[in-house]
Structure 1
Amino acid sequence: MMLRYVILASAGAMAFTGAAFAADLPMQAPPPAVSPPPAWTGLYMGLNAGYEWAANKSVNTTASPYFAAPTWSTELALSTGLASGSAPVNSSGFIGGFQVGYNYQLATSFVVGLEADIQGVTGSSSTGSFSGSGVPAGFPDETIVSTVQSTNKLDYLGTVRARLGYLVTPTLLIYGDGGLAYGEVQTGTNIFQANQPFDPAFGSFGVHTKTQVGWAVGGGLEWMFLPNWSVKAEYLYYNLGSVSNALSPLAFAPGGDLLYSSGPLSTARFNGNIVRAGINYHFNWGAPAPIVARY
């Protein structure tokens, strides 16, 4: 009986001591939430600015003979020859606009996406000219002088491109892209000629504005420097193809009598290079939630 009392008393003392010890222990904080790696999946929008310069640096003009009165064929041949040639142009300018796109981050380190952008171009108009003169065969008293002046201009440029990128680090994406390009282009040519000593001088002119569709390809780097915010630097090559501009007839008609005429046509190719920087805000809709660590 005495042994039973001793055992019960010892058990009670141990329970009291354990409870008191537990009350003295510090309370543990809940495990911290571990942020997931930067999520590239989702919609994004942003702004860009940079510089554009043309790859093609000439406007080519050719004149085809239309009509020559008797004894005026040599003047016509010389006139068409002087009106044919290449005018140097060097279009370039500042470019800026906005972009919108969607990324999808694969389970690996690859990111695929689609991006559309549109930019205005300032200061891209460029004008060049070529000149010449000559004496028609058999007519030493005549001299034909000629000047051809051409202008090229890119008003705006947009693209719709597929992107494929690789995450060098969770926050640094290197990518290549390519797809559709479109833009409004303008080309104009004026021809001024005079058949001395006859009067008056004569000429031809034409301006053509058109929305062209072509392609673009490039690549760049994008860095997510803050959650939902990234900056990028990229290069693009674009090709909008060639534009033909039919000019008014180049006709010599002193006193109202047509003596000879030709039909000039100028052709300009619009392609070039772009380097630009941009900033994007990522909405990250559907991005994974923070992970709660368990210990």
Structure 2
Amino acid sequence: MKFKSIAPLGATLFLVLAAPAMAQDDAGSPDWTGPYVGGSLGYNWLPNNKANDLEQVYFDTNGDGQYGDIVQTPSGGNAFAPGFCDGKGTSATTCSSMDREGKAAWSAMAGYDMQMGSIVVGGVIEGGQSYGTNYVTGFSTTPASYTLGRRLDWEAAARLRAGFALNRTLIYATGGLAYGKFKNSFQTTNALNSFTENNKSEGDWGYTVGGGIDHKISDNFSIGVLYRYTRFNPNDYTVTVTQGSAPATNPFVNPATTSGQTVISRSNEQYTTQSVRVTAAFRF
């Protein structure tokens, strides 16, 4: 992990570790009303789900924009009869399941809360990085592997939250809009055809929901734990396969079964993450 990615994590962790030293004697029930700024640091992972387990590489061979076509061999067979895996291809015939990895996550945030009796409502905006890449690989009869990767580069969210204050502790639920910026990648062991990537970088709107606990250790400082589930549906990335040095009867470009090229995509557009983070906030 690069230093520029570590620095925000270290800053947030410092705030959390320094919190006891910043605490002040404060008797009575605190008021949660007011603005705050802070950050979060934690762990982000891509969960197991059926959509990932069943994901395949999809093909548009006739140029109609509809995916799910069969890439045919010159004899009329399925060129991808060996099948697919929800992971990263490590050779022309093997796959390592790597699409549910977990890594560090951090964000900076700013928000405002309003307390009405024991009820606290508010809003928060945040932005940061939640690392994680998922892959899908297809295997052809040649043999060769074709791997598409999708990585969430950074994300932002605007969330509402509502909770119940128990003196110095706030228990809340949260949810709202999320925006993610993705970087896509393609790898293949096929050295004959030519491959052109389209929309290597793409953005997508999604949603995030979760809940957490905040605890005031002074009038102006709180720490907490936050869980978030976030889902995006990025689907703009494709790979166009043309002839290259392959023969004219190559399954990707054969004029008898294709439009002269084949476009590769993914069957599953979902990208979901879960995260658990420690939060720290300075309250004005």
Normalised to the residue count of structure 2, the TM-score between the two structures is: 0.69
Question: Which residue of the partner structure matches residue 280 of structure 1?
Answer: 281
Question: Which residue of the partner structure matches residue 179 of structure 1?
Answer: 176
Question: Which residue of the partner structure matches residue 266 of structure 1?
Answer: 266
C-alpha distance in 1 between matches for 2:206 and 2:265: 22
Instruction: Name the Cα RMSD after superposition.
Output: 3.0
Match runs of 1:55-94 below 5 Å: 55=47, 57=52, 60-66=56-62, 74-75=73-74, 77-78=76-77, 80-82=79-81, 85-88=84-87, 89-94=99-104
- Gaps spanning 5+ residues in structure 2: where? 1-25, 64-71, 88-98, 255-260
Match runs of 1:19-58 below 5 Å: 37-55=29-47, 57=52
State which of 105, 129, 132 in structure 1 corresponds to 2:137: 129
DSSP 3-state at the match of 2:106? strand
Cα 1:83–1:253, aligned 2, differ >3 Å: closer, same or farther?
A: farther
Query: Is 2:165–2:171's contact at 8 Å kept on the other side of the alignment?
Result: yes
Are 1:159 and 2:185 matched, yes or no? no
Identity over aligned pairs, percent: 19
C-alpha distance in 2 between matches for 1:202 and 1:151: 19
Q: Deviations over 1:124-160 (max 9, x none)?
A: 2455534342xxxxxxxxxx22211122211111111
Query: Is 2:43–2:102's contact at 8 Å kept on the other side of the alignment?
Result: yes
Structure 1 residue 119: deviation in Å? 1.2
Q: Deviations over 1:66-86 (max 9, x none)?
A: 49xxxxx64285465359744
Q: Deviations over 1:229-260 (max 9, x none)?
A: 10010100011123242211253754678761
Are 1:219 and 2:223 matched, yes or no? no
DSSP 3-state at the match of 1:75? coil
Question: Which residue of the partner structure matches residue 292 of structure 1?
Answer: none
C-alpha distance in 1 between matches for 2:168 and 2:154: 32
C-alpha distance in 2 between matches for 1:225 and 1:190: 50
Higher helix share: 1
Query: Is 1:87–1:148's contact at 8 Å kept on the other side of the alignment?
Result: no
Question: Which residue of the partner structure matches residue 123 of structure 2?
Answer: 114
State which of 133, 145, 148 in structure 2 corresponds to 1:147: 145
Cα 1:86–1:204, aligned 2, differ >3 Å: closer, same or farther?
A: farther
Question: Which residue of the partner structure matches residue 97 of structure 1?
Answer: 107
Q: Which has the larger radius of gyration?
A: 1
Cα 1:178–1:255, aligned 2, differ >3 Å: closer, same or farther?
A: closer
Structure 1 residue 162: deviation in Å? 0.6
C-alpha distance in 2 between matches for 1:240 and 1:42: 31
> Which sits farther off after the overlay, 76-85 or 269-278?
76-85
Cα 1:76–1:65, aligned 2, differ >3 Å: closer, same or farther?
A: farther
Q: Deviations over 1:18-54 (max 9, x none)?
A: xxxxxxxxxxxxxxxx965211100011111111112
Query: Is 1:99–1:118's contact at 8 Å kept on the other side of the alignment?
Result: yes
| Counterpart residue type for residue 54 of structure 1 | L
Question: Which residue of the partner structure matches residue 226 of structure 2?
Answer: 234
| Counterpart residue type for residue 90 of structure 1 | R
Query: Is 1:63–1:83's contact at 8 Å kept on the other side of the alignment?
Result: no
* Residue-pair matches, total: 227
> Which sits farther off after the overlay, 147-156 or 41-50?
147-156
| Counterpart residue type for residue 226 of structure 1 | S
| Counterpart residue type for residue 108 of structure 2 | F
Structure 1 residue 262: deviation in Å? 2.7
Cα 1:76–1:220, aligned 2, differ >3 Å: closer, same or farther?
A: farther
C-alpha distance in 1 between matches for 2:82 and 2:193: 12
DSSP 3-state at the match of 2:74? helix
Query: Is 2:133–2:151's contact at 8 Å kept on the other side of the alignment?
Result: yes
